Amino acid sequence: MSEKEINSLLRQLMLIYAMNGKSISPVKLVLSSFSKDIEDRLLKFHGSENWFIEKTEAAFLEHYVHRMQSLVYLTADSDEEIESIDDDTVMTLVLIGKE
């Protein structure tokens, strides 16, 4: 990732983490393809080492290979709306990445 992409990812991550913490129904946050470079940059933010975020070096599809049937990809570009959510459904919003 370029410097610009890393900075954008970190800004989005901080916003999502803050909003998730205030949510009535917070969700589990998972960072896939999590590299040492991203970790080093993230640790510069005070308190981020205590964030409740799962981090994995595995690519997104590798991490959820056992749950592919329950995977929902969220995007603002979709014409479809989610009408109900099952507890077993894995939903993902890709911020930046190659997956």
Written as six digits, the tokens of 31 are: 């960072």
Counting every residue written for the chain, the total comes to 99
Q: What does pTM read for this prediction? A: 0.67
How far from each other are the two terminal CA atoms of the chain, in whole angstroms? 13
pLDDT value, residue 94 = 53
How many C-beta atoms lie closer than 10 Å to residue 68's C-beta?
A: 9
Tens digit of each residue's pLDDT, the chain (99 residues): 778 887 888 888 888 889 988 988 888 888 888 888 888 888 887 677 888 888 888 888 888 788 777 777 777 777 888 777 777 766 665 554 444
**What is the CATH T-level fold of the domain 3-92, as seen in this structure?**
Alpha/beta knot (3.40.1280)
Q: What is the mean pLDDT of the chain?
A: 78
List C-alpha distances in Å: 3 to 20, 41, 60, 92. Answer: 26, 11, 21, 24
Domain limits, the chain: 3-92
